[in-house]
A and B are shown apart, each in its own frame.
Chain A
Amino acid sequence: QQKVQQSPESLIVPEGGMASLNCTSSDRNVDYFWWYRQHSGKSPKMLMSIFSNGEKEEGRFTVHLNKASLHTSLHIRDSQPSDSALYLCAASNNRIFFGDGTQLVVKP
C-alpha cells in the first residue's frame, strides 16, 4: 500500500495564478513532511519541510500541516513558468517515503 498519496496527479495553472498541491500519509508513525521539486532532467531538490502543526511561508511558497490528519499542502502564489516541475511529497520517521508526485505546468 502506498504510504504517501498526492493529488492531483497533474495541474495546469496560468502564469501569476495559485497552485495548490495536496499530500496525505497513511502511516501514523511519520513525523516529518518534505516537499521536493524536480525539474525535467534534473535531480530532486528539497523545497520546504514542515514538522509542526500550522503554516510555514518562504517567499511565494506556503506549506500547511495538519498532524492529526497527516495532511500537508503546498501553495505556490504568483506561479511562474520556472515553477513547472514534478513536486514530490515525502514523509519520514526513520526512513523516507515518497508519493507519486504532482506534475505542475505553469502556462505563460
Chain B
Amino acid sequence: NTKITQSPRYLILGRANKSLECEQHLGHNAMYWYKQSAEKPPELMFLYNLKQLIRNETVPSRFIPECPDSSKLLLHISAVDPEDSAVYFCASSQANWGANTGQLYFGEGSKLTVL
C-alpha cells in the first residue's frame, strides 16, 4: 500500500524525543493516529478532519499531533515510556463532520520499541 506512507517504519528509543510522519495520496478529508499494542485491536489516539483536531482521546500529554496540511500528519513523542512500545498506524478516510466516517485506509505502521 503506497497510498499512505509512514516513516520511520521501525524505531528503537530510550527516553528520547521522536516524530512519526504520515502522508496520504488519496485526497481524504480525515486522518487518524491509532496505537496497536501486542495482542490488542487498534486504539484511536487522534482524529483530524480537514486539518482540525476533532477528538483528542485520553492519551498522555507526551504525544502531540500535528497536521501541517490535509494530506500530512505528524505525531511528536517526547520522553517515551516503555508502555509506549507499540505499532502506530496512520489512517485516512473520506469523511465529513457529522457524516459517516467511511472506510479506513491504514498505512503500514511505525513500530516503536522503547528500551
Q: Report if B81 contacts A (CB, 8 A).
A: no
- Give A3 Cβ to nearest chain B Cβ, in Å: 12
User: Contact between A46 and B103 (Cβ–Cβ < 8 Å)?
Assistant: yes
How many residues from B make CB contacts under 8 Å with A?
Answer: 21
Q: Which of chain A's residues has its CB closest to B109's CB? A: A43
Stretch in B13-21, B40-48, B61-69, B70-78 with 4+ CB within 8 Å of A? B40-48
Interface SS, B side: loop
Of A43, A45, A101, the most chain B CB neighbours within 10 A belong to A43
Q: Report if B33 contacts A (CB, 8 A).
A: no
Contact bitstring B1-38, A, C-beta under 8 A = 1, else 0: 10000000000000000000000000000000000000
A88/B41 contact (C-beta < 8 A), A94-B101, A95-B55 known: yes
User: Contact between A46 and B104 (Cβ–Cβ < 8 Å)?
Assistant: yes
B residues near A43, Cβ cutoff 8 Å: 1, 89, 106-109
- Give B76 Cβ to nearest chain A Cβ, in Å: 22
Q: Which of chain A's residues has its CB closest to B1's CB? A: A43
B residues near A45, Cβ cutoff 8 Å: 1, 106
User: Contact between B100 and A34 (Cβ–Cβ < 8 Å)?
Assistant: no
- Give A41 Cβ to nearest chain B Cβ, in Å: 9
Interface SS, A side: strand
User: Contact between A94 and B41 (Cβ–Cβ < 8 Å)?
Assistant: no
- Give A67 Cβ to nearest chain B Cβ, in Å: 14
Q: Report if B60 contacts A (CB, 8 A).
A: no
Q: Which of chain B's residues has its CB closest to A4's CB? A: B41
Contact bitstring A1-17, B, C-beta under 8 A = 1, else 0: 00000000000000000
User: Contact between A44 and B100 (Cβ–Cβ < 8 Å)?
Assistant: no
Contact bitstring B73-113, A, C-beta under 8 A = 1, else 0: 00000000000000001000001011111011111110000
User: Contact between B100 and A31 (Cβ–Cβ < 8 Å)?
Assistant: yes
- Give B2 Cβ to nearest chain A Cβ, in Å: 12
B residues near A86, Cβ cutoff 8 Å: 41
Contact bitstring A68-99, B, C-beta under 8 A = 1, else 0: 00000000000000000010101011111011
Given contacts A94-B101, A95-B44, 7 further A-B contacts (CB under 8 A): A31-B100, A34-B103, A45-B1, A45-B106, A93-B100, A93-B101, A94-B97
